[in-house]
Amino acid sequence: MTQHGIHTGIRHLLLTAFLSLSSLNAVAQETSWKDGGMLFTIGAGYEHMPDAYSPQGIAFDISARFYTSERLFWEINGHWGSHSGNKDVMQKGRPFSIHDERNCLLAATGPGYEVLQTGNRFFDVYVKALIGYGAKKAEYDRYEPLPPYESSGIIVEDGRITLGSSDSRKGIAAVFGIGADLRSKRWTLTPSVNAIYVGRKWNIAPMIAVGYFY
């Protein structure tokens, strides 16, 4: 074999090896693309606060997931929930509107696990349990109902109203959630429901988030 033929054979061998390695790498990335990956999401939704005066409430979330395997991840989460509303109460037999504003803020971290995956990994269902620190502040008009009394033959409902009350609580916070990731290439759309413990109260927050895999 001539020297030119040897060089040509070596080039063909190297090219074949390179293409084979590239194909193996592409397959590996397709089958284990989450392992070692990071998913960043931002979401919004509704937050139900059981002590609030009306069902109006909003929530915002930002989070980062760090995958240690195809299913297991560690999440860092920041959450803010806000409520502002009114309700009518009775004072001396007449309706009176009282107002409240409630805000909660927390940071939490903890593990999550994808309990269900489709074969192409374009859909999964996950659960997570996070713990951290949070604060909740409330400014509200306090209402204390009083026993009804009779006036001119009419039963009158009454109550004591204190305007401008406030309450602030800080301490341990927790987030327990379940959600589903819908993936298109590296983008995700995630509806979820989270039970949030902050300010010694449990809130429920159904949300939807958009994410991107790095």
Q: For the chain, what is the domain count?
A: 2
Q: Report d(CA 77, CA 4) in Å as an integer.
A: 62
Residues 26 and 41 in one domain: no
Q: Are residues 24 and 47 in the same domain?
A: no
Q: What is the CATH number of the domain that holds 136?
A: 2.40.160.20
10 lies in the same domain as 72: no
Boundaries of domain holding 21: 1-31
Kindly state whether residues 48 and 15 are assigned to the same domain: no
27 shares its domain with 38: no
Check whether residue 9 and residue 86 sit in a common domain: no
Task: Give the model confidence (pLDDT) of 14-48 as tens digits.
Answer: 444 444 444 434 433 444 557 678 999 999 999 99
Q: Which residue has the tokens 């449990």?
A: 202
- pLDDT tens track of the chain, all 214 residues? 454 544 454 455 444 444 444 443 443 344 455 767 899 999 999 999 998 998 779 999 999 999 999 899 999 999 999 999 999 998 888 888 999 999 999 999 999 999 999 877 789 999 999 999 999 999 999 999 888 887 777 887 888 889 999 999 999 999 999 999 999 988 999 999 999 999 999 999 999 999 999 8
Contacts of 71 (CB under 8 A, 6+ apart): 34, 113, 114, 115, 117
Q: Are residues 19 and 120 in the same domain?
A: no
Q: Which residue is associated with the tokens 């509200």?
A: 140
Q: Count Cβ atoms within 10 A of the Cβ of residue 120 and give its class: 0-12 exposed, 13-18 middle, 19 or more buried.
A: exposed
Same domain, 20 and 38: no
Do 6 and 86 belong together in one domain?
no
